[in-house]
Every structure is written in C-alpha cells, then in structure tokens.
A and B are shown apart, each in its own frame.
Chain A
C-alpha cells in the first residue's frame, strides 16, 4: 500500500466506444504497428485519440546550452524547431500517445523482436519521441549529428544509464530486463532533447500518429485494461472486450490538466 505519494490525479473524461466495429475502415493503417511477430490475429483494437481543449500554438524551441550559449544545433535547421510536447492536429487529434495493454493478458513469454528498437539523435532531436521496446529486445542509440550528445535515462525498474556519444561514435546498445512504464530520456548538453520509452513484456502496444490513430493487432479474445499515456496530459484507462473477429474501436479524449 502506498500513502499520499504526490501523484497528479488526472480528471480526464474517457469516451469509449466499446465493441463498435467499423466496416471497411482504413484508419490506423499507418499507425505504429508492432504486432507482426504474433501469430494470433483474431482481432484488432483501433482508435483515435483526441484532445478536447484549446489548441496551443507550438512554440519554437530555444536552442541554447546550459549557460545560455547558442548551441551549434541551430546550423542544422533553416526553420526554427517547434516544441513537440503537444502535437495536436487541426481536427484535435493527439499524436505521440502511447497505448498499451496493461491488464488481462495471460502470463506468457512472447518472442523477442529480432530487429532492434532505434533511438536516433538526428538534427538535435531524439527520434522517435515515444516508443515501445520489448523486454530482451536490443535498443540502439545512434548519433547521426556532427556534435556530441549524451543520452540519460531516468529508468527506475531497469538500471538507469547515461552515455556520452561524440559524433561518429558507434551505436550504443542496451537490453532491458524488466517491464517499465514511461521512462524519460534526455540530453543534458542540449536540454530541449527529450524522448520517452516503455519497456513492454508483450507486443500489444502502439503509438498514435499525427492523426491520433493507433492500431493494435493480434490480441486474443478477452477482457483487457487498455492504457493511453501522454507526456503532458497524463494517463487514461479503459476496460475493453475484444471479440473473436472484427475490430474493437476505442476512443480516448484528453483534456488540459490546468482546467
């Protein structure tokens, strides 16, 4: 039991459309789909994540190092880099939301993806910003820039790390041994560089694209708790029932915490 650990309680409304099948839908086709490895493809879970509230203008990032010196990074960009912490489309769809199955799966060992998960340091940004990595999967950190970066992880369950990576140095790699939620990554030399990863014990997760879409394939029939996480807007949970055929449509709507 845990007492009064200061935890922001997100008072967010969850709009769920359970078990609604959409005929002939193409949504989620380009959403991050990590479930190729599973053979079970009885059904899929699809949906769109929305943001209900004032769409904030994305601010240009200030490319300064600690101390205020203008960073070399600005030479890599003709246009100012925009803040990526809240990417909301004109239609109010929210990108970079991590969706995963939290409860309901049977304990089982899932095959480890053969291809590594990659974190690229590209033009002084981490790419991708949000990703899921499976336990045991290789995680590569690559520096494609002409300057030194460091990657610091704030892991709590897995061992935290902080590696420096001068230009052209070989990829760094790591393997995580335990599942873990939302771990922040940061470059301390270029403090605007941030990314997040989840270490998953199964392949049932996805990240929303710019249209807020996601798709999780191959979930066996059953009842699950699905969680949607966003770096600024917090976490939402919903109970879903996955039927043997068709797709389960799930919607999440985030609101501004300030309200």
Chain B
C-alpha cells in the first residue's frame, strides 16, 4: 500500500476553502436576474470577436514530469494542508466519515463523495495530469469563482442552485458532458472549447464570462474541470476519466468546419424546408408565422432532462439571438452538427454539410432582418417529407449513417 496523504487535513482544507468560496459569492447573481440582464445586453456581446480556436496551451514551467517528484510534491502539499487534490482509495472511507461528522449527515443518508481524485491512485493521476501545480491553482480558482454554482465537488449542485427552480442548472463536471463543443455528439470537448466557454460564458444562462481572469488562470481551470470528469465504470469496476483518450472512446478530433457558402434566398428557403423536414420544428415551434420560436410549456413531461435528470423546461428560442454557445455562423454550425449532447436535441451530422449551412442561414435569417427571408409558401414543399433524401445528394445509398 502506498503512502497516503492525510485525508483529514486535506478534507478540512477543502471544507475551509469551500466555506470561503460560499461567503465570497454575492447573492444578486441569481439565475433570473442574470438571465434577464443578459437578454438586454448589446448584440455585440453575443458574437465577440473572439478566438474561435484558442491556441493549444503549453504546460507551464512548473509542470512536474517525473513521478517521484510528483509524489513528493503531493505529500508536501498535503502536509502543509495547502490543498487536497489526492486521496487514495482507502482514504475515501475516512474522508466520507470526516465529511459526515462535520456536516452532521446521519449514517443512513447516502452522500456522494466520489471524484477521480478521491478514488484513483496517484500513479493514475500522474499519467494524466503531471501538471500538479496547474491543477492546484485550478482547484483554488474553482473554489473561489465556481463552487457556489457548480458545487464544491463540481457536482452541479452549489449552494446557489437551491433557490433555482427553472432554467438551465449548472453543469455537473463528473459526467464529462458539455454543450459548447467543436466535437461530435457524445464526446468530450477540446481544451479550446472549454477555454472558449470560460471566456465567453454561456449566453442566456447564469454561467458568466470569466474574461477578467488571466489566460493562465482560465487554462488552469480548464485542466481542473477535466480532472473532475471521472466516471465509475460498473462494468469494469474502475474509475476512468472521460478525457483520457486511451481508455474511453469519448474523445474525438474537432469536426471540420468548411467555408460558409454565401447566404442567398435559396439557401434560406432550403433551410426553412429542412427545418420542418428534419423535425426541428417539433421542438422549436411557436405559434408565430415562422416555424421557429420558443417551445415553452410548463411541466407535464418527464422526458426532457439534463445530465443530472433535472428538468429542461423548454428548447431554445431561436428568434432572439441568445444562444448558449454563440450566434456566429460557425457556432450554429457546430451545435447543429454535433448537438448539445445534453438534453433532447439530436446531432445532425448525418445530413450533408450544405444542408447544415442552409439550416444555419435559415436560423440566422430569423433574427437578422438584413438576411433574405424565406416565403412561408415554401413550407408546403416540406410536408410530407420527400422520399429518402436526407443524405444531401439526392442520390440513394448516400451517407445517411455517416455519424458513427
């Protein structure tokens, strides 16, 4: 058995840090106030001239590259109770006990303490994250800026969420599921995607932009968030990290975004027809004359749920330019191709690229008055859907199943 870092000290440190984080949180950034204010912000905010593909970060000077140094560093850190990054498997039981006692949780009430850092041994962590200083820094920043919403363990259940009853809840990072991705459905985002989220925030939700943090700080947060995406695999009875490309099949290269075709009346019209044919209208319908809008109906169904089975009460209103991951053409192209992965919206990677651009143009035409406007008479062409042609070429036996 490996030398353990002291769980007691570590947990205490973590709890103190959380307490500080909670105090730090100001109550006026509740979800409703935040989302109201974001809708009234200028259009410029929704499409900031921002790096779409931020540069790949280099490991900082402080990165530790050999395991012994890594271990020494861990022990040292735990002795100074600077941080509580790593607990060995056996320490989990004791950690839970400490947590129970300090929080006054009765024995028969289950608590969830699982996180890769609590259950994987140092070697496994080293293999993934030899960059301990960055992680430590990320942890500190997380407790300071994020834990109020995302929860002390990144479970998406921070103290601020207790007052929330609707809208999108903060992400639970243990699932490794993200909306704002340049990758295929069901895969983890690239580092650049997470960095973009931190820089921009998610428009229309309470997730704020963190542009005021230095680039280095944002990168440390990205590393830290990835470290939380541990997943207990009951099949193999092991804990794996979704971002570990060797173990899972959840990582993928970013999708190619080709050049955007010119916006024409034809492309917008084709988009409008596709919007009906592809079933978008089923989830994005309103009683406005255009087949787009906000499908907001309260309750009644238990089937639209997020990654933690919390209700998603409505789809996105496509008329007001407030999109979680941006309203630029490339943003819309990405979300239509890869799907948000969270919630019911499918991925449309199986339809041809031109068609996805048509859909982008149509969606944009709804909030861009200077775009050509598709005539409502076009809707008749969509219903009933034309035979078998969803492979974009009109030819039989096309790429209908290209999204493996």
Contact = CB atoms under 8 A, between A and B. Distances in A.
Do they bind each other?
yes
Contacts of B397: 170
A8 to B, nearest CB: 11
Interface stretch (A92-100, A151-159, A217-225, A241-249): A151-159
A159 B235 contact: no
Interface stretch (B33-41, B46-54, B162-170, B345-353): B345-353
Interface in A169-189: 169-175, 177-181, 186, 188-189
Name B's interface SS: loop
B92 A3 contact: yes
A3 B96 contact: yes
A144 to B, nearest CB: 13
A178 B384 contact: no
A131 B388 CA distance: 27
Interface in B243-296: 249-250, 277-279, 282-283, 295
10 contacts: A2-B119, A2-B232, A3-B113, A66-B304, A162-B185, A162-B341, A162-B344, A188-B283, A188-B344, A188-B346
A167 B301 CA distance: 24
B304 A1 contact: no
B133 interface: no
A164 B348 CA distance: 7
A157 B233 contact: yes
B303 A5 contact: no
Contacts of A166: 277-279, 385, 390
A162 B339 contact: yes
B301 A66 contact: yes
B235 A169 contact: no
A150, A163, A188: most-surrounded residue (chain B CB, <10 A): A188
A119 to B, nearest CB: 13
A161 B186 contact: yes
B187 interface: yes
Contacts of B16: none
B92 A68 contact: no
A143 to B, nearest CB: 11
B234 interface: yes
B89 interface: yes
B278 A164 contact: yes
B404 interface: yes
Name A's interface SS: loop
Given A4-B112, A66-B283, A163-B350, A178 B89 contact: no
A189 B186 contact: no
Interface size class of A (residues with CB under 8 A): 35 or more
B283 A189 contact: yes
B231 A156 contact: yes
Interface of A: 1-6, 64-68, 146, 148-150, 152, 155-164, 166-175, 177-181, 186, 188-189, 191
Contacts of B112: 3-6
Contacts of B119: 1-2
B23 interface: no
B376 interface: no
Interface in B163-196: 184-187
A163 B111 CA distance: 35
B398 A163 contact: no
B384 A146 contact: yes
B43 interface: no
A161 B384 contact: no
B104 interface: no
Nearest to A149: B279
A194 to B, nearest CB: 9
Nearest to B349: A163
A189 B282 contact: yes
B145 interface: no
B111, B234, B282, B341: most-surrounded residue (chain A CB, <10 A): B282
A137 to B, nearest CB: 13
B301 to A, nearest CB: 5
A192 B234 CA distance: 28
B401 A172 contact: yes
A173 B404 CA distance: 7
A5 B350 CA distance: 37
Contact of A160 (B185, B233, B278, B401): B185
Nearest to B347: A162
B400 interface: yes
Contacts of B404: 173-175
A182 B317 CA distance: 34
Contact of A191 (B92, B185, B234, B301): B301
B110 interface: yes
Contacts of B387: 168
Contact of A167 (B113, B345, B384): B384
B300 interface: yes
A158 to B, nearest CB: 7
B342 to A, nearest CB: 10
A66 B297 contact: yes
Contact of A155 (B186, B282, B344, B346): B186
Contact of B295 (A1, A67, A148, A155): A67
A140 B302 CA distance: 27
Contacts of B110: 4-6
A168 B396 CA distance: 12
B250 A162 contact: no
Given A149-B279, A170-B390, A170-B398, 19 more contacts: A2-B114, A4-B113, A5-B114, A66-B297, A66-B301, A67-B300, A68-B300, A161-B185, A161-B403, A162-B344, A164-B346, A167-B385, A168-B387, A170-B401, A172-B401, A172-B403, A188-B344, A188-B345, A191-B304
B168 to A, nearest CB: 16
Contacts of B282: 65, 148, 189
